[in-house]
Structure 1
Amino acid sequence: MVRENGGLHYTNEDYEKADKELQRKALEIKKKNDQERIENEEKIKKEIKKQYELEQQQLEQELQRAREREREREKKNLFDRKTPTAYTKT
């Protein structure tokens, strides 16, 4: 800045102008950082939601398989009770 004004002294106006520019840049950086933080948070939320939904789906599938196994077991038990065996005593 010294070269810009030919080595002369700076006025209050010059300092105020420089200060305003610094504040503007600081605000711009803050906004950019805030936006990046928000985008990162959204990305993480989406990843967590996706993982949760996948785990939920896997649990539902496992529950369905367990129910199916139980139905098959009940069918087999019912069938075994109705079918006479060759080894029953008379």
Structure 2
Amino acid sequence: MVKDNGGSHYTNDDYRKAEKILQDKITEEKAQKERKRLALQQRIRNETDAELRKEYQQRENKIMNELENI
């Protein structure tokens, strides 16, 4: 570890900087996962809405056809 640091000691400031970088990465990963989750949720919502609209339209057409045949 000391060799990686050019032969000198790591300071508390070095550890704080490393911890900050790590926390920033963790925060970004969480944010990225949340964005993916929200995008998936929206896609599912859109697909469900489209299916419901299609089903509604089919039912409406069926009823209209039945009324025309009366």
* TM-based fold match above 0.5: yes
Number of residue pairs the alignment of both structures matches = 70
2:65 aligned with 1:57: no
Q: Describe the shift of the 1:3–1:46 C-alpha distance in structure 2 as closer, same or farther (beyond 3 A).
A: farther
TM-score (norm 2): 0.86
Aligned to 1:36: 36
Which structure's relative contact order is higher, taking Cα pairs within 8 Å and 6+ residues apart?
A: 2
**Where do 5+ consecutive residues of structure 1 fail to align?**
71-90
In structure 2, runs of 5+ residues without a counterpart are none
Decide which structure has the larger Cα Rg and report it.
1
1:1-90 matches, within 5 Å, as 2-70=2-70
RMSD: 1.5
Higher helix share: 2
What's the % identity of the aligned pairs?
39
Show structure 1 runs of 4+ deviating over 2 A: 1-4, 6-10
